[in-house]
Amino acid sequence: MSTLGPLFFLLYINDLPACLSKTKPRLFADDTNITAAGECLSDLEDAVNSDLEMLRKWLMENKLSLNVAKTEFQIIGTKQMLKKASVQQLKIHIQNIPIKQVFQCKTLGVTVDENLCW
């Protein structure tokens, strides 16, 4: 593997954040997380779905692909907000393919749950 390969990849995807308007990306090597904050769940659902569509288009234009099977979403919040979220059920999707909701996720070796406990 070339030592310049990772650098070239980072340069290649450097403009990815510009395609997102409602969420904030966090990029580490070939791993990307997007986060959204809001007062109500419907606003979060709209923001995430909108930016996921923009991300899908950006990936297609740049001849990259997204592994939808590995894509997940997590809601982090207060116990009251999480209780409301469990009743409402967010519908997050990419090209009409539903994204799986998880209640804890591992990112950069750290497992974080919906209450921000590690």
**Do the domain assignments include residue 39?**
yes
Q: Looking at the domain assignment, is residue 118 inside a domain?
A: no
Q: What is the domain extent for residue 9?
A: 3-113
**Closest by Cα among 31, 39, 23, 47 to 77:** 39
Query: Mean pLDDT score of the chain, rounded to an integer?
Result: 86
CA distances from 69 to 66, 76, 100 (A): 9, 21, 9
17, 25 contact by CB (below 8 A): yes
Question: Rounded to the nearest 5°, which phi and psi values hold at 32?
Answer: -130, 135
Report the pLDDT value the prediction gives residue 113, as an integer from 0 to 100: 83
Residue 118 is predicted with a pLDDT of: 65
Please, which pLDDT band fits residue 36 given cuts at 50, 70 and 90?
very high
Please tell me the total count of domains within the chain: 1
pLDDT digits (tens, 9 = 90+) for 41-87: 888 999 999 999 999 999 999 998 888 988 999 888 877 777 776 65
